[in-house]
Homo-oligomer: A and B are copies of this chain.
Amino acid sequence: MSVLNPPPDALLARLEARLGPRGFTRDEDDMAPWLTDWRGRYHGRAAALVSPASAADVREVVTACAQAGVGIVPQGGNSSMVGGATPPAQGGVLLLSLRRMNAIRTVSAEDNVLVAEAGAILTHVHEAAAAAGRRFPLTLGAKGSATVGGLVSTNAGGTQVLRFGPMRSLVAGLEAVLPDGSLYEGLSALRKDNRGYDLKQLLIGAEGTLGIVTAASLRLFPAAASRSVAWCGVATPSAALALLRFLEDRTGPAVESFELVPRRALDLVLAYVPGTRPPLAAPASWNVLVEAVDAALEPPLVEAAEAGLLGDAALAVSEAQAEAFWRLRDSISEAERHSGPALKHDISVPVAAMPAFMESAAAAVEQRFPGTRVIAFGHLGDGNVHFTVGAPPEADGAVWLESEALAVSAFVYGEVGAAGGSISAEHGIGQMKREALAATVSPVRLAAQRAIKQALDPKGIMNPGKLLPG
């Protein structure tokens, strides 16, 4: 990729004049919160923080940077898990925040479409859809800070992918500023549009390396009237998958979440997270949290129990109990933190291969790295689990992480590759997984990706140092 230039003073002065004091700062204190990722793992520098108020502002910034060969790092809610929105450590780039562009432009219940600017926060999208009697189904833990632009650019997943798919399935149109400063006006929400290569599909998941998403048309669905939530004990991951298929056959698409929790993870939550209590009278080896919308889970669960597909089960009889079940699932990451240093992996394999993978890969890791403890949990129905390798209890955590991280992750990714899987299911590549990407995907795929990057961003100004290996 081309060599970038630090922004010349004249360019900075021009942008400062255009964007005004709310839209331009070089103050270190003002910039500081946005130069480190929220997990505190990546630290970057930037020549300035620019905060455009409109797509026209964004065009101005990008056009100037394209001419001068200056790098731009777009940032939304700064909630990347892979350092995708943190500038390079050496600086010399502009950090471009979309947070001022946070309008919900339109909501159409008749069209089932909501148009939001890139900086709109997911929670606000949920609220705007609900106010129109509709529902935007994608949700995730960071919903209070994650922005539409970031969700689009990372093809975000979350807990409702089983039914509604990831962000890619929910984006009906995009507006974006391309690396040459031109404006791609593709907000028109067409259910069918076969006019050649779909640029929108490239921008989704491109992590800001092909342009800056400035607004998105999002698909809405009928509001959900009720949900049914149950906690089930099963013997194995295979039994869990069989239960999922059984429930889907009985309820059609009503099952929206199907989360697998091993006993180890539940025990950690019960030990470390205050106010939690066991969901079942007798602990099960594996647990499933299932949620169905506008359909009752009781009849199919009774039938499944009679067919021997599950052990104990508890059906939430109140919204409070449903929330308590979800809290057990959502507290796993927090509980893991209390239990010591660990390496996390966000991986996917084909759904049917996941049960065997969870058991065989965990065993292989624990054998290869004695003393480690694997906890794999999450979105079984999507073939996506969070695969955590805990440091041996007797090891110094920081030292272990430093010395073993690369080897452990490479081993995990090798197992993933052997199962036809992906080293990044929903978090993206960012700066964290660039080298792992190079090591694990085929040269054909990598060459095609590089050719696309070169074609659309020949100067390499968009989010330099992210996604594609150096």
Q: Which residues of A contact B (CB under 8 A)?
A: 108-113, 154-155, 157, 161, 165-166, 168-169, 178, 182-186, 188-199, 201-202, 204-207, 210, 222, 241, 245, 248-249, 252-254, 294, 348-353, 379, 381-384, 420-429, 437, 441-442, 444-445, 447-449, 451-456, 467-468
Contact = CB atoms under 8 A, between A and B. Distances in A.
Contact of A210 (B197, B205, B351, B447): B197
Given A184-B445, A222-B252, A424 B113 contact: no
Nearest to A294: B252
Given A351-B111, A351-B112, A455-B455, A199 B448 contact: yes
B437 A195 contact: yes
Which 4 pairs, one residue from A and one from B, show the smallest C-beta to C-beta distance?
Answer: A455-B455, A111-B352, A201-B201, A188-B420
A457 to B, nearest CB: 10
B197 A202 contact: yes
A383 B113 CA distance: 13
A139 to B, nearest CB: 15
Contacts of A154: 194
Contacts of A241: 110
A350 B190 CA distance: 5
B191 A196 contact: no
Max chain B C-beta neighbours (<10 A), residue from A178, A252, A468: A252
A418 to B, nearest CB: 11
10 contacts: A161-B192, A188-B350, A190-B383, A194-B424, A194-B427, A195-B441, A197-B452, A197-B453, A252-B294, A455-B455
A201 B199 contact: no
A161 B467 CA distance: 33
B196 A437 contact: yes
Max chain B C-beta neighbours (<10 A), residue from A108, A441, A444: A444
Max chain B C-beta neighbours (<10 A), residue from A157, A198, A210, A453: A198
A304 to B, nearest CB: 15
Contact of A186 (B199, B252, B253, B445): B445
Max chain B C-beta neighbours (<10 A), residue from A186, A189, A421: A189
Given A110-B245, A196-B205, A445-B199, A191 B421 contact: no
Given A182-B444, A202-B201, A422 B192 contact: yes
B205 A197 contact: yes
A192 B383 contact: yes
Contacts of A353: 111
Contact of A350 (B113, B254, B427): B113
Contact of A199 (B168, B193, B252, B449): B449
Given A188-B420, A249-B222, A452-B455, A182 B110 contact: no
Given A197-B202, A197-B449, 17 more contacts: A110-B241, A110-B351, A168-B201, A182-B444, A189-B351, A191-B348, A191-B351, A195-B445, A196-B207, A196-B467, A197-B453, A198-B205, A199-B445, A202-B202, A202-B452, A451-B456, A454-B455
A16 B196 CA distance: 33
A352 B219 CA distance: 13
Contacts of A447: 182
Contact of A452 (B165, B253, B425, B452): B452
Contacts of A253: 252-253
A334 to B, nearest CB: 23
Contact of A425 (B111, B193, B196): B193
B196 A349 contact: no
Contacts of A456: 448, 451-452
